[in-house]
Amino acid sequence: QVQLVESGGGLVQAGGSLRLSCAASGSIFGINPMGWYRQAPGKQRELVARIFVGGSPNYADSAKGRFTISRDNAKNTVYLQMNSLKPEDTAVYYCNLATIARQYWGQGTQVTVSS
């Protein structure tokens, strides 16, 4: 089994920054794709950013230029640096880890951006 533990969410003013962290443990070897998704009330969960073993990132259009995803493969940890936050970024952010068998999700961390 895989466990994901997220941290770093909170309340921030528009234009501010937050850094999310997700530590993975269990039956993994530090070679799995990891990413961040978010879900606002009444909306579907959407991809924010994803990063692969070699460090190549993918970003949603809404995140490009503002968010940066990175990972420490040895620690099985992924980070999301969020700058220039907007009220529309308000959502529950979920860490994701993909294995051959299935995908795993963290419990979610709330990010609230006020105007």
Each of the 115 residues of the chain gets a pLDDT tens digit; together they read: 899 999 999 999 999 999 999 999 987 766 789 999 999 999 999 999 999 887 789 999 999 999 999 988 788 899 999 999 999 999 999 999 988 889 999 999 999 999 9
φ, ψ of residue 89 in degrees (nearest 5): -80, -10
The model's pLDDT over 79-111, given as tens digits with 9 standing for 90+, comes to 999 999 999 999 999 999 988 889 999 999 999
Pairwise CA distance, residues 18 & 83, whole Å? 7
Chain centroid, CA 54 distance in Å? 17
Strand partners, 67: 82
**Could you tell me if 46 and 30 are in contact, meaning their C-beta atoms sit under 8 angstroms apart?**
no
Q: Are 49 and 37 in contact (CB under 8 A)?
A: no
Alpha carbons within 13 A on the beta-carbon side of 76: 17
Please state, in angstroms and rounded to a whole number, the distance separating the CA atoms of residues 90 and 72. 26
Look up tokens 């528009």; give the residue.
14
